[in-house]
Amino acid sequence: MDSKWFLLVEREPKKGSYNMAVDDYLFQSLGSEPETFVRFYSWENPTVSLGYSQDINKVLNEEFCWENNIEVVRRITGGKLVLHHKEVTYSICSTDKKAFSSSLSQSYKIISKALIKGLKKLNIPAYLADEDNPSYSRSSLPCFSYPARNEIKVKGQKIVGSAQKRVGSKFIQHGSIPLERDDQLLQSVSLLKEKKEKIRMIAVSQAAKKKISYKLLVKYLISGIQDFFNIKLEPVEFTRKQNNFIRKIQKKRHENKDWIYRKRIPHPIFSNSVDKPTLKEK
């Protein structure tokens, strides 16, 4: 059976807990047939996302976040702290082993190559990182402190930070692609000032040497993904029933302090069964 590829693009910035709930829903709703969802979104306010297993007390300046109305969410994927602000965020959910392989590391590399193809359409000289930093992997530093193997760099600096979750044949990978830098805010939320560590990142507008908008970057990333995989993404939108599911996940999980503070809770929607309403075409 041929794989189906669907495209979801958020036209307006969304609340952090909603963004996480949508990715959660897409991952949980994947069936056994090969299909792929590609989604792009942004954040209505600066938001910190924590990796699934991170200890909030070791990585986050919680007092600063509450005082400055910075939302804090926890991802279903692993990885390190990310400040989402002035960026494009992508997510890819799939059960297509033919396109992505069944390996976490290999699918990570494949997705990076597809994103690089899109970045190069903006004349950004992006390439794969070929090294790992073991001390960084074990540290509590934020995502954009160092590039990891098969992440994307420009001029030695990280331009995309990604994380993946895989269960059986299905996976989700999502990542942050900064349009502009805000080093001071990242240092403030992530305790970097205390650690006296550098930020080794470059934003898209820096790399392109001109201001790049959310809409423009999404356009070229879509084009790069379609070219790389030789597919056509079919634009779709959620039905009313799906939106109701997503809002329940948002309220009961991603706005739940037990979840944010790393207390394991049953999934509010998919604990017993998966109800997957049909997407409607745009």
| Contact between 274 and 267 (Cβ < 8 Å) | no
Cβ neighbour number for residue 19 with a 10 Å cutoff: 28
Whether 65 is catalytic: no
CA distances for 22 relative to 64, 172, 249, 250, angstroms: 27, 12, 8, 8
Which segments of the chain are extended strands (E)? Answer: 4-9, 35-41, 47-50, 71-74, 82-84, 87-94, 127-128, 152-154, 157-167, 170-178, 234-237, 280-281
Location of structure tokens 């999934």: 267
Q: Considering the candidates 143, 159, 172, 203, report the single residue annotated as catalytic.
A: 143
- Taking each helix axis from N to C terminus, what angle separates 104-120 and 214-229, rounded to the nearest 10 degrees? 120
Contact (Cβ atoms closer than 8 angstroms) between residue 52 and residue 77: yes
Radius of gyration of the chain measured on its C-alpha atoms: 18
Single-letter amino acid, residue 207: A
**Cα–Cα distance for residue pair 41/176, rounded to 1 Å:** 10
Q: Which residues are catalytic?
A: 143
